[in-house]
Amino acid sequence: MQVSSPTAGDLEEAIRLHRELDAIGATAGGGIDRQEATEDHTRSRTVIAEWLSARGFEVRVDAIGNMFGVWEHTPGAPYVLVGSHLDSQPCAGRFDGISGVVCAAVAGAVVRREVEAGHLTPRHNVAVVSWCNEEGARFQPALLGSSVYCGLLPLEEGLAARDRFGVRLADALESVGFRGTDEPPRPAAAVLELHAEQGVALEQAGVAVGVVTHCWSTLKWRLIFHGEQAHTGGWPMRSRKDALLAAAMFIVAHRALCEDFPEGTLRTAAAWIDVQPNSPNVVPSQVTLQCDARSDDETVLAAVRDRVRLTIAEIAEKTGVEIQVERFSDRQRIPLNDQGQQVIRDAASAVGEQTIDLPTVAGHDCLALQQHGVPAALMFLPSTGGIAHNEREHTSDADLQTGVLVLTEALRRAAGGALDQRDVQG
Amino acid sequence: MQVSSPTAGDLEEAIRLHRELDAIGATAGGGIDRQEATEDHTRSRTVIAEWLSARGFEVRVDAIGNMFGVWEHTPGAPYVLVGSHLDSQPCAGRFDGISGVVCAAVAGAVVRREVEAGHLTPRHNVAVVSWCNEEGARFQPALLGSSVYCGLLPLEEGLAARDRFGVRLADALESVGFRGTDEPPRPAAAVLELHAEQGVALEQAGVAVGVVTHCWSTLKWRLIFHGEQAHTGGWPMRSRKDALLAAAMFIVAHRALCEDFPEGTLRTAAAWIDVQPNSPNVVPSQVTLQCDARSDDETVLAAVRDRVRLTIAEIAEKTGVEIQVERFSDRQRIPLNDQGQQVIRDAASAVGEQTIDLPTVAGHDCLALQQHGVPAALMFLPSTGGIAHNEREHTSDADLQTGVLVLTEALRRAAGGALDQRDVQG
């Protein structure tokens, strides 16, 4: 199918809109810092809300702060959701999530224009979405808004999430005017998401479009190390129960685990830490550490689970520090809907782009919905050098424009019902 | 010499005053939290200021927030300073520093009363002192106020110290009304300090009074680990430059160092850490870690210095993380003035108490002055179980009252000139 739109003007508008967002919460190193429900994050939401509103979309904000640009052409028909997130990590790149919202907004507006001109008659309504707190940086868990939308996480639990200063998400949203009361668009017939790859597979293949086949399994947990507060000068070494020493031993052992599996099969991290009382002259009494392990192979994670348990016991024995384990997420390998994958391949082919299939190591909002039975399609655009969660993250304008073209075509197909036959695929 | 005062009433008043301070900033675990220039710390300063003022002392606050209760009976004569500090660690004990101020206030008032009754004719003026920011918890360095007083630290540098939220000490003092403009009492003929032992030597010896002979050498430094921010999912393990992993490796190696020296000769700590961006899904880009090493033997610390340099090079090599060393204090072994030691021994003997000699591992304000040529005398009271920097820190009422008796007698002697012959001792 030859498409006459998006027009060159649409493609230029996508880049202009992206640049407008790039300037909000910009950091000295060329990135952005727009964590959930901060002033800058709110400004970026408002830019998108006004942009959609000006194009006839009804902007709704639901009780967990998800924002939707709703276009209901057929009352009562299910929705195709298309979008990503606008919240960022601290000191992050300009593309992660944001490109997905920008491309979705332009794609939505183009398809709407086509329908209103009588060129298309879609089966499903469309909503452009910006999910709340995808990153899990300021509030945890990650994928918070999409998980509440699809029923994986109770609303009250999501609203009760607290940042490190004890501010509840409910209050943070309230304070910036994004604790909504609108009903979110339902039911969802399908969800589409475009995202930067955060890896080098596309770059190495020389291809602009990645079709995500599935998500690696991820294990996330929190360790609390209970030591004993003491004077760093006065207290004998052998009597110390140093919570930070025990946590450091765990971090080192956790990293070493990766050496015991074939290269590339396991990724681990311990990236968030809280130390009490965190005073130079006081042996730390309590440390909280967040850890994760990711693999494409469930048996690897099962082995990790066993090894972590052993490591904890060894360190507790050696240091006298009591170690408490709190598991807070155990995401199984999630396969993306087959028809969704095919829709991306077909849409790319329709605009003359090649694709490769690839997995995602990171979580994305559409995966939460897929996990809860909503057919999802996830497409990746190249990230230069695979750099992500870093101010130097980059996707070229040309790739972004390819993204708009492919996502628009995928949206046409999804709105036409291309992902509908859930019962058949089994 | 038989002494008729302190009276039973004075001793009871010391305990009452201590209990009044214990209630300020009290924690659930039976301790206190009154870090420098907080509201609770200020309330404790005000209690002491009013107590001294009611007994005729002129309360002065100098430019770095040291508070003095000045009693100038002989205009122009040098001062004996007697006191300690009221600021605490986070979640700390009720005795550390505070007992020293309480006992000093009562001792000062008693000696003043005796002089005014014509029973004594001291050579030196007396000032009860509460030094600013001894702990080095909220602001660094430790011993800040006493170091500025004696010229070890420039005033401007002290005022520019920032807490972890970027608040300058100057502004923190200003906001609680303790950035003073008064001249501190000078010159200092001698300084006396009473402090909890923070060790078990007195308890084990069954003696209530410790005569501190010298302070262990201490090396304090700050390491800055420069890694590279990346996605914990997307970024391959072998490409990571994880600043927290490198810091953890250092913490483990630093602790292991102690095993290479005879037990009890070296104490090390890494107790304060700052991690950026500290987000669960982001490989840490920068970690700052404060470390120290203490020994009674300078050659041990020289060996530590060499080993730390080697360890840093190894970890940098292994992790790709650049490690920057910032030395911020290198306190040599400080011997306490011989006559000062004898004054404590004689004072204890005069009130029928035995003493033992012992070193201090921790720093104390009077050591800064001793280092700068002011003869200092430091006496310790027992800490139950040696517990310090912990809510369970404890010194008994009986020991506190012994402290008042001995410190009062030591102050009589010091005010009489017992520590004066600096030139003779060489």
**Does residue A15 have a pLDDT over 60?**
yes
pLDDT at residue B177 tops 60: yes
Give A363→chain B minimum CA distance, Å: 8
Residue for token digits 């200020």? B42
Are the C-beta atoms of residues B48 and B86 closer than 8 Å to each other?
yes
- Per DSSP, what are the bridge partners of residue A206? none
CA atoms within 13 A on the CB side of B272: 24
Put simply, whether A203 touches B (Cβ < 8 Å) is no
Instruction: Name the pLDDT band for B331 (thresholds 50, 70, 90).
Output: confident
CA gap B383, B99 in Å, rounded? 11
Residues B24-69 pLDDT 10s? 999 999 999 999 999 999 999 999 999 999 999 999 999 999 999 9
Whether the per-residue pLDDT at B101 is higher than 50: the answer is yes
What CA–CA distance (Å, rounded) separates B100 from B333? 23
- What is chain A's alpha carbon radius of gyration, rounded to the nearest angstrom? 23
Structure tokens at B380: 């310790």
CA distance A162 to A156: 12
Query: Cβ contact (<8 Å) for B198 and A234?
Result: yes
pLDDT, mean of residues B152-175 = 93
Report helix, strand or coil for A75: coil
Packing angle of the helix pair A298-319, A243-256 (nearest 10 deg): 150
Cα(A157)–Cα(B270) distance, integer angstroms: 36
Under 8 Å between Cβ of A100 and A85: yes
Task: Name the residue facing A137 among B140, B252, B279 (closest C-beta).
Answer: B279
Q: What is the pLDDT of residue B5?
A: 87
Using the structure block, give the residue that is written with the tokens 């739109």.
A5
Residue found under tokens 């999630």:
A334
Query: How does DSSP classify residue A375?
Result: -
- Residue B203 burial by CB count (10 A; 0-12/13-18/19+): exposed, middle or buried? middle
Tell the residue number behind the tokens 């301790």, with chain if given: B31
The alpha carbon of residue B363 is apart from the nearest alpha carbon of chain A, in Å, by: 8
State whether residue B228 is helix, strand or coil.
coil
Coil, strand, or helix at residue A398? helix
B391 interfaces chain A, CB cutoff of 8 Å: yes
Query: What average pLDDT score do residues B133-158 get?
Result: 96
Distance CA A257, CA B352 (A): 63
| Paired sense of beta strands B217-226 and A376-381, if any | unpaired
Looking at residue B164, its pLDDT comes to 80
Strand partners, B226: B286, B322
The share of chain A scoring above pLDDT 90, in percent, equals: 93
Asked whether the whole model's pTM tops 0.90, one would answer: no
- Comparing B421 with A351, the larger pLDDT belongs to A351
Residue-range domains of chain B with CATH = 8-216+333-425 (3.40.630.10), 217-331 (3.30.70.360)
Predicted confidence band of residue B128 (pLDDT cuts 50, 70, 90): very high
Helix (H, G, I), strand (E, B) or coil at A217: strand
A115's tokens = 């329908």
The DSSP annotation for B71-121 comes to E-SSTT--EEEEEEE----TTB-S-TTHHHHHHHHHHHHHHHHHHHTTS--
B210 shares contact with chain A (CB less than 8 Å): no
Q: Residues of B numbered 216-235 whose beta carbons fall under 8 angstroms of chain A's beta carbons: which are they? A: 216, 218, 220, 228-235
CB atoms within 10 A of CB A56: 12
Respond yes or no on whether ipTM tops 0.95.
no
**Distance between CA atoms of residues A134 and A146, nearest Å:** 8
Q: B143: helix, coil or strand?
A: coil
Phi then psi for residue B18, to 5 deg, are -60, -45
Interface of A with B in 103-132 (CB under 8 A): none
